[in-house]
Amino acid sequence: MADTSAPRHHVNKPAVAFMVVVHALAASAFLLPWPPYALPMALCVYVSIGLGTTVGLHRLICHHAFRCPRWVEYALVTVAMLTGQGSPLLWAATHRIHHAHADAEGDIHSPRRGVWYAHLGWILNEDSTGPDDWKTWCRDLVDHRYYHWLIRYRLVPQAVTVLVLGLVLGWRALPACFFLPMVSWMHSTYLVNSASHMPLLGGRPNATRDQSANVWWVSVLALGEGWHNNHHAYPASARHGWTWWQWDPGWLFIRMLEQLGLAWDVRVPTRREHEVRSA
C-alpha cells in the first residue's frame, strides 16, 4: 500500500519561476561592475529587509511580542514584503502551524523531511501549505485589509522598489544593490528552518519538545533569529538572544522603538521562567 503519511509533492511553477529569476538576477551582480555605493547600499537593503522580517512579520504579527502604532507595523511588514513572500496572513499562518507541530507530523518545514526540503523545497511544493490556512490560524489579523490586499498583490512592494531604485541608481546597479542582498536574506531566513532545527549544529539549553537549536552563525546572518531554541522555549518573547553575547539586532531595534515611544507592552521571559525552562 502507498504511504499516505508522506507529503504530496506538486511543483509550484510560479514559485519556481520566481526563484529562478531572482537568483539569476542576484548572480548577475558578479558579472556586472559594482558602483562605489553598492556595498553600503546592499548592506542597508539586507538589514532593512531583515528587520522588517524578524521584527515585523515574526515577533510582531506572528507572536504579538510587543505592540506599536499601526503605521509602524505596516512599514515593517511592507519592507519585509520586498522579498516577494506571500501575504503576511499566509506567512503568519505557516509559522504558527510550524510552532503547533514543530518537528512532528504536520510541521510544514521540518528537517525530518530532509534538509533541502526544510530549507527551500517546501516553498516549491504546492501542497505544503493551503491558500486558506490563514482563515484558521490568523483570526486575530483578519481586520487588516492591507494584508488581504497583499494576498493578491504581494509583488507590488517589490516591483515598486525595483522601479524606483532602477530609475535612481540605474538598472545595472540593481543586481548588486537589491537582488543580491534580497536573495542573501531569503537564504538566511531559510537557514532558521533548516540549520536551526538540527541539534548537531547548535546548543539546546531549553527543554523543548522539538529539535530547535541555538546556532550562533545563523543568528549573525539572520539578525538574531538563530537563537531558535530560545525562541521555541518562549515564542512570545521579543528577545531571542538572552545573554549579552547572543547577537540579536532584532531585539535592539525593538528596544530602540520602545525608547522612542513607538513600542510598548514588550514581552520577555522572567528570570524565574528561564530557570524553570532550562531545568
Asked if pLDDT for residue 272 goes beyond 70, the answer is: no
pLDDT at residue 86, as a whole number: 76
Which of the four pLDDT bands, split at 50, 70 and 90, describes residue 110?
very high
pTM: 0.93
239: cell is 528577545
Three-class SS string for the chain? CCCCCCCCCCECHHHHHHHHHHHHHHHHHHCCCCCCCHHHHHHHHHHHHHHHHHHHHHHHHHCCCCECCHHHHHHHHHHHHHHCCCCHHHHHHHHHHHHHCCCCCCCCCCHHHCHHHHHHHCCCECCCCCCCHHHHHCHHHCCCHHHHHHHHCCCHHHHHHHHHHHHHHCHHHHHHHHHHHHHHHHHHHHHHHHHHHCHHHCECCCCCCCCCCECHHHHHHCCCCCEHHHHHHCCCCCCCCCCCCCCCHHHHHHHHHHHCCCCECCCCCCHHHHHHHHC
Q: What are phi and psi of 254, to 5 degrees?
A: -65, -40
pLDDT at residue 3, as a whole number: 38
Does residue 225 belong to any structural domain of this protein? no
Mean pLDDT for the stretch of residues 68-86 = 94
Mean pLDDT for the stretch of residues 236-245 = 95
Does residue 61 belong to any structural domain of this protein? yes
Does residue 139 belong to any structural domain of this protein? yes
Does residue 240 belong to any structural domain of this protein? no
Does residue 167 belong to any structural domain of this protein? yes
pLDDT at residue 2, as a whole number: 36
Does residue 53 belong to any structural domain of this protein? yes
Asked if pLDDT for residue 9 goes beyond 80, the answer is: no
Mean pLDDT for the stretch of residues 34-44 = 95
Structural domains counted in the chain: 1
Distance of CA 96 to the CA centre of its chain: 12
Range of the domain at 57: 13-204
CA distances from 162 to 29, 57, 64, 157, 173 (A): 15, 21, 31, 9, 11
The fraction of the chain above a pLDDT of 90, given in percent, is: 87
Does residue 245 belong to any structural domain of this protein? no
pLDDT at residue 7, as a whole number: 53
Per-residue model confidence as pLDDT tens digits over 143-168: 999 999 999 999 999 999 999 999 99
Question: Between these two residues, 194 and 7, which has the higher pLDDT value?
Answer: 194
Asked if pLDDT for residue 196 goes beyond 60, the answer is: yes
Does residue 74 belong to any structural domain of this protein? yes
Separation between Cα atoms, residue 170 and residue 164, nearest integer Å: 9
